[in-house]
Amino acid sequence: MIKEFREFALRGSVLDMAIGIIIGAAFGKIVTLLVSDVLMPPLGLLIGNVDFSNLFINLSGQDFASLADAKAAGAATLNIGLFINAVIDFVIVAFILFLIIRQMNRLKRQPQPVPVTPSTKECQFCRSVISLKAIRCAYCTSELREV
């Protein structure tokens, strides 16, 4: 059983998948930081000094100055800002994956065969195959009309 597992684990596709998962996790962290630290602060400033990471709805009835204070007190909250950040993270990652898969599919497509121009034609009288340039059939000696 250990031998089978080792053969399975050392297959190229399993290693490729593991590398893809590790790179994907690192890419996800980069996108998360991009959204929370680069995109959302200017967007919050444009909207009117809104800090999306601190945007929440308090369900406990008490007043809290920040989401961190509410969490420290154990209050029930709806973390709308964190949800918005997660949605934007997802959209960015999904769009980039779409672009990658689209490019891979474009590379996988088979080139369309180039149509071959015929070099022969059929004699209209005896139906023998003759050259396109022929003006008389080599088999029946008929003069050929232009078709």
Question: Which tens digits make up the pLDDT trace of 68-84?
Answer: 888 888 888 888 888 88
In a domain, 78, yes or no: yes
State yes or no: pLDDT of 89 exceeds 60: yes
| Structural domain range at position 144 | 118-147
Please indicate, yes or no, whether residues 125 and 66 belong to a single structural domain of this protein: no
Confidence of residue 147 (pLDDT cuts 50, 70, 90): low
Please indicate, yes or no, whether residues 144 and 122 belong to a single structural domain of this protein: yes
Confidence of residue 129 (pLDDT cuts 50, 70, 90): very high
HSE-up of residue 84 (Cα within 13 Å, Cβ side)? 17
- How many angstroms separate the CA atoms of 86 and 117, rounded? 57
Structure tokens at 139: 């088999």
- Prediction pTM value: 0.56
| Phi, psi (rounded to 5 degrees) for 24 | -65, -40
- How many angstroms separate the CA atoms of 80 and 67, rounded? 11
Residue 74, classed as helix, strand or coil, is coil
**How many distinct structural domains can be found in the chain?**
2
Please indicate, yes or no, whether residues 99 and 125 belong to a single structural domain of this protein: no
